Amino acid sequence: MKRIAVLTSGGDAPGMNAAIRAIVRTGLDKGWEMFGVHNGYAGLISGEIMPLGARDVGGIIQKGGTMLGSARCREFETEEGRRKALTQMEQQGIGGLIVIGGNGSQTGAYELSRMGFPVVGVASTIDNDLYGSDITIGVQTAMDVALEAIDRLKVTASSHHRAFLLEVMGRKCGYLALMAGIAGGAEAIMIPEQKTDPEVVAADLRAAYDNGKAHAIIVVAEGAQNNADGMAQYFQIHRERLGFELRVTKLGHVQRGGSPGSFDRILGTQLGAAATESLEKGNKGVLMGMIKGEITATPLDVVVENKKDLDLRLLELAKVLAK
């Protein structure tokens, strides 16, 4: 009988619990013993590996976050740390590992795979910047949270004829800001992938008012060169010349919490089940993701060696639609 462990690593994402549930129950259906690693790679090093039964993952599909917990682990970035993790799994007879997470998590999975241990990754990050999956677990729910915030801010902005800036998560990738901005009809979108001059944004907002709009919404990713704080300060300093100021709302980690939507529950379930299927077939060292609507296995070395680029044509489209 095989013993398989699952862990979640890096930032939590809505839908991770759905993936854990699917992994445990499909593994049990194959006659395997299933285990959960608490607190990510740190827990793997310290041996926080506990058995999981069907009832242990009951009632979690609708919950945000991850029942297993997650933690950053500098020690795992060293070969010595990874060898400690392998020793812990060897002592408990673990014969395979499924890693749910984003870029850093899958880099760790790749390093274990290079050392000869059977590992399969599951694509999960609200940033949607992981190569090997068109969309990752948590993205849709996080985007819906941002969209709801935009819609609510528009009501107040129209009532008071004001300009609002909404900062969403995305330190290195502007996917959430771009897509939520398009879906919410934002007048301006600022992302890390492209520098935007505050004067250009001010001109866009002024044009919106001149064209009869009762509101103006800017969506900015937290990692943009001119983030929420920088933009607010700029508009405050030049308030008399620009003629208006910005009211700032930061969503922060609100986007990562809460109950996952139906899409993320289904995606987490599909990718989790695919991960156990992959291990059963001996297809290890791969990331399970969704490409062109199909569940796909991409080698982990390809995943870590490539960067997922944002389609900047959508930013140009957003500018046209905002006029």
Q: Which residues pair with 100 in a beta bridge?
A: 8, 122
Is 213 a known ligand-binding residue? yes
Q: Which residue in the block uniquely carries the two structure tokens 């400690």?
A: 84
CB 10 within 8 Å of CB 72: yes
Is 254 a known ligand-binding residue? yes
Q: What share of the chain is helix, strand, coil (3-state, %, to 5)?
A: 45, 20, 35
Which tokens is 67 given?
């029942």
Nearest to 98, CA basis, from 29, 35, 14, 56:
35
**Active-site residue flag, 204:** no
Burial of 157 per CB tally in 10 Å (0-12, 13-18, 19+): buried
CA 7, chain centre distance (Å): 16
Catalytically annotated residue among 12, 127, 144, 264: 127
Is 241 a known ligand-binding residue? no
Is 247 a known ligand-binding residue? yes
Is 171 a known ligand-binding residue? yes
Is 19 a known ligand-binding residue? no
Is 105 a known ligand-binding residue? yes
Residue 29: CB atoms within 10 Å = 11
Cα angle, residue 183 at apex, residues 177 and 189 outer, rounded to 5°? 35
Is 154 a known ligand-binding residue? yes
Is 311 a known ligand-binding residue? no
Is 27 a known ligand-binding residue? no
The residues annotated as belonging to the active site are: 127
Binding residues: 11, 21-25, 72-73, 102-105, 125-127, 154, 162, 169-171, 185-187, 213-215, 222, 247, 253-256
Binding residues for substrate: 125-127, 162, 169-171, 222, 247, 253-256
Binding residues for ADP: 21-25, 154, 185-187, 213-215
Binding residues for ATP: 11, 72-73, 102-105
Binding residues for Mg(2+): 103
